[in-house]
Amino acid sequence: MSEPVSEQTSPNDLERLLEAAASDPAERPAFTQALLAHEVFVLGRTDPSPVDGLIPLDAKMHFISLEDAHGTVLPFFTSLAKLEAALAAWPGTDPAFLCLTCRHFFEIIRGSRLILNPSAAQGKHYEPEEIAALLDGRDSGLEEVPVTDELHVLVGAPRNVPPELPAALARYFVQRLAVAAAHLGWWYQPDGRQGYLLGVVSSDRELALDGFGQLEVTQLTGGASLDIRIFAPGTRDGMLASLPPPFYVRSPQADLSD
């Protein structure tokens, strides 16, 4: 039982994006954007049943769930092939399925935990907070902290930089036309708070950090925090001057290729 599949992104294209996102954090925002617009396959039924392949507006949906160490989780799949592979691994499972846009599915199951392609090599868990942020147009991986008091911080070069951190950040920024340069430093506050400091030179904060939280950079920093500060082009800010030279500078050739 299903809705018609659109011609937007083929399952193979979506799965190529998922494979790229699994190996490169910089590719995760592109995958997320494509997933939300794509149809996904979900084990379940409707009451009443679909008519001519279409789900009635007043139908109630019943989805099959799994249990893991953290409780109930709903499986969903990027393609019919991935769903059929899961059914082969779960003998006795009701094979009925629904096909609907991922965004619609997320709206229906708000508050639930999800797992994408649970029996495949590449997949992903989605917690309720992340799903709500995606639907609301927020970035669940970014937290804005207003500065209400004057901060006294020491800024300099990090003692240790995981080699994959600046490389992944550079691959992300090359896709953001609004970013002119990026610096990676370390800051320390008298209260003991410390972590990486990412200085981004950009005229547009929203465009510069679009999807940044989806990179899950703490996986690259070894769990250390990463704070971001945006500097307008031409800024002579003392904090920017205290950061190491930029690890990323946008080249004119990059703009031409885009």
pTM: 0.82
Q: What does the pLDDT average to over 57-82? A: 91
Q: State the average pLDDT for the chain.
A: 88
What 3-state DSSP class applies to 63?
strand
Give how far Cα 241 sits from Cα of 108, 235, 244, Å.
49, 9, 8
Q: Is 27 exposed, middle or buried (0-12, 13-18, 19+ CB in 10 A)?
A: buried
Q: Quote the CA–CA distance of 184 and 181 in Å, as a whole number.
A: 10
pLDDT higher at 9 or 186: 186
How would CATH label the architecture of 154-257?
A: 2-Layer Sandwich (3.30)
Exposure string (b/e) for 79-90, b if CB count within 10 Å is 16 or more?
Answer: beebbeebbeeb
* 183 within 8 A of 239, measured Cβ to Cβ: no
Residue 51 gets which letter from DSSP? B
Give the pair of three-digit tokens for residue 122: 């590449």
What residue type is 57 in one-letter code?
L
The length of the chain, given as a count of residues: 258
Say if residue 139's pLDDT is above 60.
yes
pLDDT in tens, 165-198: 999 999 999 999 999 999 999 999 888 889 999 9
Q: Which CATH superfamily is domain 11-136 in?
A: Uncharacterised protein PF11572, DUF3234 (3.40.1350.90)
Give how far Cα 10 sits from Cα of 5, 106, 219, Å.
9, 20, 30
Element holding 165 (H helix, E strand): helix 164-173
- Asked, colleague to colleague, whether 11-136 and 154-257 share their fold, the answer is no
What is the model's pLDDT at position 180? 97
Q: Quote the CA–CA distance of 239 and 243 in Å, as a whole number.
A: 7
Question: Residue 252: which pLDDT band, with cuts at 50, 70 and 90?
Answer: confident
Give how far Cα 28 sits from Cα of 49, 55, 172, 211, Å.
35, 31, 9, 8
Question: Residue 7: which pLDDT band, with cuts at 50, 70 and 90?
Answer: very low
What is the model's pLDDT at position 58? 79
Q: Is 48 exposed, middle or buried (0-12, 13-18, 19+ CB in 10 A)?
A: exposed
| Torsion over CA: 243, 244, 245, 249 (sign) | negative
Q: What does the pLDDT average to over 13-19? A: 94
What are the residue ranges spanned by the domains of the chain?
11-136, 154-257
Q: What does the pLDDT average to over 65-81? A: 94
Question: Residue 12: which pLDDT band, with cuts at 50, 70 and 90?
Answer: confident
